[in-house]
Amino acid sequence: MKLNNTKKLRLYIFKSNKHIYAHLIDDNTKKIITSSSTMSKEIKDKVKYKKNCATAKIVGQNIGIKLKKLNIKEIIFDRGNNLYHGQIKAIADATRQEGIIF
């Protein structure tokens, strides 16, 4: 059963014990287009704590900027098994502030 047969790309959010990851996935080709995380070069130096809402907001802004550079305006937001609360909501809100629609 194929769940996603649209042309929209999927932004998948994953939280480990120490880090937050945001991957833009093309389900048709099964490849990661771009990603951002607390381990990324551009974010690692900016943050003091690796996993909190302020850091999640920076990750969301960063992935939003990368999506704008790729001329991607609409995506599907996939929060995985995480509740839409706290860090997940911070990533979503920061990505929306960059003009990405989902």
Q: What is the pLDDT of residues 13-57, one digit of tens each?
A: 999 999 999 999 999 999 999 999 999 998 988 888 888 999 999
**CA distance to 19, 76, 99, per residue, from 88 (Å):** 12, 14, 17
Residue 8: what pLDDT?
Answer: 85
For domain 9-97, give its CATH number from 3.30.420.100, 1.10.1740.10, 3.40.50.2000, 3.40.50.1000. Answer: 3.30.420.100
Residues facing residue 6 across a β-bridge: none
Burial 6-20 (b: 16+ CB within 10 A, else e): eeebbbbbbbeeebb
Res. 4: pLDDT tops 50: no
- Whether 77 and 102 have beta carbons less than 8 Å apart is answered as yes
